[in-house]
Amino acid sequence: MNRWLIVVGREYKTRVRKRAFILSTLLGPFLMVGIVVVMAFLAISTNETDSKVLIVDHNNLLTYNLPGEEGQRLPSCPECFPERDFLEYRFASKALDTQEFLESDFTAMVELDDGIMQSAKALLKYESAAPTKVKSAVKRDLGEAIERLRVQNESALDYEAYKKLKVRIGLVTQNIITEDKNIENRSGIGFVFSIFMFMFIMIYGMHVMRGVIEEKSNRIVEVVISVVKPELLMGAKMAGIGLVGLTQIAVWSLLSWLLFLGFGFYAESSGLLLNLMNEQETQLAATDFMTFVESDSDLGVLLQVNWGIMLGWGAFFYIAGFALYSSLFAAIGAAVEQESDAQYLLLPATLPLMFSYIVNIFIIESPDSTLATFCSFFPFTSPITMMVKLSVGVPWWHVVLSALILIMTVYLMVKMAGKIYRTGILMYGKKPSLREMSRWLMYKNK
C-alpha cells in the first residue's frame, strides 16, 4: 500500500474512533434539534398559563349591558372576541382600582374610550408583563372590533363586504437576470452553511496544528520523515484530518435529513400537522408534510434552495478552505514546540477567517455589495462568503473564478507551508521569529 495512504489512514482512524468524536458526530444533530425543541417548549409553556383580560369600555363603544345583570357587560360583536385556550375576556365599563386589580385574577386590564376611534390606541395595565402572544391577540381582536364599528359608522358597506375588499400587499422579489424569486429568504440557509464552514475549518485546522505539535514535541516525527517526505507527511495529515471533518459533515447532514423526514412522518401520522395548519389558518386540503413545508412562508425556503449546488460547492469550498488554513496551521505547528507558543502566530493567521465570519452579517443583508463581491473572490474569505452568495444565486463564472483563485492560493500556500514545515519540524530550542521563518522559505529542498 502506498505510504502516503498509510499515513492518511492513521490520521483518520486514530481520530474517528475516539469516543468524543463518535458522540459528537452521532449526537450533534439531535443536540441541535433538542436545543430548538427546548427553546420552543419554553416559549410555549410560558404562554400556556391562561390569561384573563378585562376590557374596560368607558364609553360603551363595544359592549352593552345584559339586562338585569348590573355591571356584567357583553361584547356587541362576540365573534370579534373569540374563545381562545390561552385567553379569556371579561368586559366592564368601569376600571378596577389598583388594589382591586391586584386582588383579581386578571392578567391585564385594557382601558379604552371614544378616543380609540381616532388614535387607535388603548391602555393595557398589568402587574407582570403579559405574554406577547396575548398582547397580539388583544390587539387583533380590538382592532377588528373597532374596524367593524368604523365600517358601520362611516360607510354603506357591511363588514363582510369590506373584508373582501381589503387587500394586503406582499412583495415577491425577482432578480431580473436570473429570474430567481425571493432570494433574500434563502440567504439564511447560506448563513447557516457559512457558520458550519467556519466552525469546521477552525476546529479541524486546529486539529492539524495540534497533531503537528504532538509529533514534533514527542520526536516521533524524526522516524516518520525518514520514511515519508516531510511535505507528504504534512499533506497526509491534512488529508486525514480533513476527511474526519468531512465524515462528521456527512453524518450530520444525513442525520438531519432523517430527523426532518422523521418529524414529517410523525407530524403526518399523529395529526400534529393538521394542528399546525389550523393554527396558521391555512386552507390546504392536503395533509402531506412536504406540501405543508412548501406552503409555509418560513419553511418553504428549505425546498427552494438548490441543495445540489449548496452541498457540491460547499464540499469544494470546505476542502479548499480547509487545505488553505490547515497548511497555515501546520506550518505554525512545525515552528513551535508547544501549543501555548503558537498563540502569537495564530492570531494573524485566523484573522481573515474571523473577519469573513463577522462580515457575513452585512453580506446577508446585501449579497451584491462591493464588500460581498470582494470577500467572495479573496481566497482567505471566499470559502465562508461564497456560501451566502451561492444560496442567493451567483453567476456561474463568478463561482468558477473564485474557485480558481482559491485553488491557486492553496497550491502556493501548501508549497510555502511545506517549506516552513520541513525546516521547522526538526528545529528545537528557540522560538523562531517571523523573519527567521521567512528565511526557511529560501532553504533548498534537499
The residues binding another protein (CB under 8 A) are 1, 3, 6-7, 10, 14, 18, 214-215, 218-220, 222-229, 426, 428, 439, 444, 446
Give the span between the Cα atoms of 9 and 13, in whole angstroms: 6
Contacts of 82 (CB under 8 A, 6+ apart): 141
| Least Å from the CB of residue 239 to another protein | 16
Closest CB to another protein among 224 and 336? 224
Block residue for cell numbers 497555515: 328
Sign of CA dihedral 152, 154, 157, 163: negative
| Least Å from the CB of residue 236 to another protein | 11
**H-state helical runs in 175-270:** 183-217, 221-225, 230-270
Closest CB to another protein among 226 and 370? 226
Closest CB to another protein among 9 and 75? 9
Closest CB to another protein among 3 and 90? 3
| Least Å from the CB of residue 432 to another protein | 12
| Least Å from the CB of residue 18 to another protein | 8
Please report how the helices 370-377 and 382-392 are oriented relative to each other, as an axis angle in degrees rounded to 10. 120
| Least Å from the CB of residue 388 to another protein | 37
Closest CB to another protein among 280 and 445? 445
Closest CB to another protein among 190 and 424? 424
| Least Å from the CB of residue 220 to another protein | 4
Give the span between the Cα atoms of 262 and 79, in whole angstroms: 39
Contacts of 269 (CB under 8 A, 6+ apart): none
| DSSP state letters, 150-202 | HHHHH-SS-HHHHHHH-----PPPB-TTT--BSHHHHHHHHHHHHHHHHHHHH
Angle at 407 between CA 404 and CA 413, to 5 degrees: 140
